[in-house]
Amino acid sequence: MRYLGAALVVATLVLLGIVPTATATATAAATATAATPPDDTGRSWEVAAARWDFIRGPGSTVYTGALAFLNVDDGSVRELPWGDYAPGDVAYAPDARTLYTVGLISIGDTIFDAEVHLAAHDASSGDVRWTVPLSDSQERLAVSPDGSIAITTNDRIDLTTRQVVPFDACGGTVNDGPIDVAFSPDGSTAWIVCRFRDPDRAELRAFDPATLDLLRTIELAHDVTGRIALTPDGSTAVLSGARLNLPVFNQRAVRVDLATGAVADIATDSSFMLGSISIAPDGTRAYLSVQQASDDSQDSLWAVDIATMTLAASGPLENYGTHPIVTPDGAEVFATGYGPWGEAGERAKAISAHDAATLTPLGATPPLPGAENLAVTPDQAPVARLTASEPNSPVTFDASASTVEFGSIAEYAWDFGDGVSTVTTTPTVEHEYAEPGEFTATVRLTSSGGTSTEDVYTGHQLLRNGDASAVATVTVTVPEPAVPGSGVAGELPPAGFNGATWVIAGIGMLLTGALAVVIVRRRVQPQRKDA
């Protein structure tokens, strides 16, 4: 009986040992290295507008201004005014936490008593964090793709140490000078538009941002008075407000091949093109404004096909000297401009929204007097987090703990490590591995703004701040399948197999057999005594 009990224990352990439950574990091979984003996940982009004006008093005229922030989703506007600072050009840091402006601080009683400063603002509140004085006559601003330096038309600023290095980009006479500045998308070059008089012409000058050495010069026959932007691949520059000859109103947009210096353009019909220029995230279109010179008729917002330098779309725009900016997803274009004339003969500026494909007007803000240059919040890469279930058949992969700062997560691109991949719009997916082994599964996220691991930069600031945080991996170990009832490798049982039920049944059969043996022996023994 003791021998039978020992055999029963051994049989039970054998049965437990061959139950084909999944014993492999899913372990994270690499987790997102980016810090957890703040609680304000899924928030809206904002369009920041620099506003400036004068305050005229008895015997004095001083600068004043404000920052206005337009919520792209709901159209609401918030403002932060200053009594003695008038911001001009504006650009965001790559992480969207800081907004930089170049502006004027009044130090006396006239508009000539002012200093040019670079100011760093908290992007959420608009509050000034710090300022540094710059050279005189600063108008334009660009922040490098990595956010380490800013370049204006006369200074380079280290944004960590706040060290300012003045430089003369264009030289020439007092009537010559820089018009605008833009970084190449890789940050290796700062392109400055130099305008020269007598004769009227322009040059694109390339500088090393680290040393400020002049790298090369592209001469243009055009006289350029507008702005510059670059395609995201860094191959092409587009300039606004150019002309080849008289009349001065016959202005045009110019495309420059930055490798060869080849030039193509598209001309307006007796119009100005004084405002800024914005490039679509995919690099196919340039957005700019056209202002009629002959009368007070309707002005236009243009979308120019960069490859062919033809007009792709045009929409009505009540403005003069507008500054369009495109959203990170490429869906909308915002522009500053004047509204219609009021009864008292005044025209107030506002920010208008337009469909990027057709340039159809979508609406406008209330009046924002003095609004000029615009910047849009850079979209941020999602932060991917990935887990996997035990490697049953199939394995469930779950990225629902992933987060994104702006908008939502629009796409999950899965690679299961066995040659199979798929794309979903939901954070969970199932996959069945055909063979045992160790597999590294990967998910790559893309935000609703189009941001994943790659940056999109068009000259003045990032549109999309890509990062490796958009990718997460997990390692899954799929075991050799087992054959029920034996200790050897074989085929896994069909779906729905309950190992615990079979163990109990096996133990029950063994116990029943043992009981039968005992009963038989007890019945036979008395007969032997009677004999």
* 218-232, 313-327, 442-456: which is most confident: 442-456
Among 31-35, 68-72, 326-330, 362-366, where is mean pLDDT lowest? Answer: 31-35
The pLDDT of residue 256 is above 50: yes
Q: What is the mean pLDDT of the chain?
A: 81
- How far is it, in rounded angstroms, from Cα 163 to Cα 153? 16
Q: Indicate if the alpha-carbon torsion angle 365, 294, 302, 144 is positive or negative.
A: negative
Exposed/middle/buried for residue 404 (C-beta within 10 Å: 0-12, 13-18, 19+): buried
- 70: which 2 tokens? 């337009």
Q: Is the pLDDT of residue 59 over 80?
A: no
**pLDDT at 1 exceeding the cut of 80:** no
* Gap between the Cα atoms of 344 and 365, Å rounded: 20
- Closest among 379, 376, 386 to 353, alpha carbons compared: 376
| 200-251 tens-digit pLDDT | 788 999 999 999 999 999 998 877 778 999 999 999 999 988 776 655 566 7
pLDDT band of residue 320 (cuts 50, 70, 90) is low
Whether 64 and 82 have beta carbons less than 8 Å apart is answered as yes
pLDDT (tens digit per residue) in 19-31: 333 333 333 333 3
Q: What is the pLDDT of residue 287?
A: 96
pLDDT value at residue 367: 83
| pLDDT score of 319 | 60
- Is the model's pLDDT at 425 over the cut of 80? yes
Strand ranges across the sheet with 371-376: 77-82, 60-71, 46-57, 371-376
Across 447-476, average pLDDT: 98
Closest C-alpha to 312, from 333, 335, 336: 333
* pLDDT over 90, % of the chain: 55
CA distances from 187 to 92, 93, 146, 206 (A): 15, 14, 7, 12
Q: What is the pLDDT of residue 35?
A: 37
Alpha carbon of 294 to those of 226, 250, 452: distances in Å? 19, 11, 47
Does residue 94 have a cis peptide bond before it, meaning omega lies within 30 degrees of 0? no
The string of pLDDT tens digits covering residues 492-520 is: 444 443 443 333 334 343 333 333 333 33
Which of 377, 476, 270 has the alpha carbon at shortest distance from 44?
377
pLDDT confidence of residue 515: 30
Residue of higher predicted confidence among 293 and 356: 356
pLDDT over 80 (residue 469): yes
Residues 58-65, mean pLDDT to the nearest whole number: 76
Q: How big is the chain, counted in residues?
A: 531
Which tokens go with 105?
A: 């601080």
> What average pLDDT score do residues 88-111 get?
91
Cβ-based neighbours of 221, under 8 Å, separated by 6 or more: 201, 244, 263
Q: What does residue 501 show for φ and ψ, rounded to 5 degrees?
A: -60, -45
Among the listed ranges 74-88, 345-359, 501-515, which one has the minimum average pLDDT value?
Answer: 501-515
**Per-residue pLDDT at 263 exceeds 80:** yes
What's the pLDDT band for 344 if we cut at 50, 70, 90? low
338-377: buried (b, 16+ CB within 10 Å) or exposed (e) per residue? bbeeeeeeebebbbbbbebeebebeebbeebebbbbbbbb
Residue 452 corresponds to which amino acid? Answer: S
- pLDDT score recorded for residue 248: 58
Cross-strand partners of 119? 101, 131
Percentage of the chain surpassing pLDDT 70? 75
**What is the pLDDT, as a whole number, of residue 3?**
32
Distance of CA 216 to the CA centre of its chain: 31
Rounded-to-integer distance, Cα 235 and Cα 531, Å: 112
Query: Bigger pLDDT: 451 or 393?
Result: 451
- Packing angle, helices 499-530 and 2-17, rounded to 10: 160
- pLDDT at 485 (0 to 100): 59
CA distances from 22 to 19, 219, 390, 480, 504 (A): 9, 70, 7, 10, 19
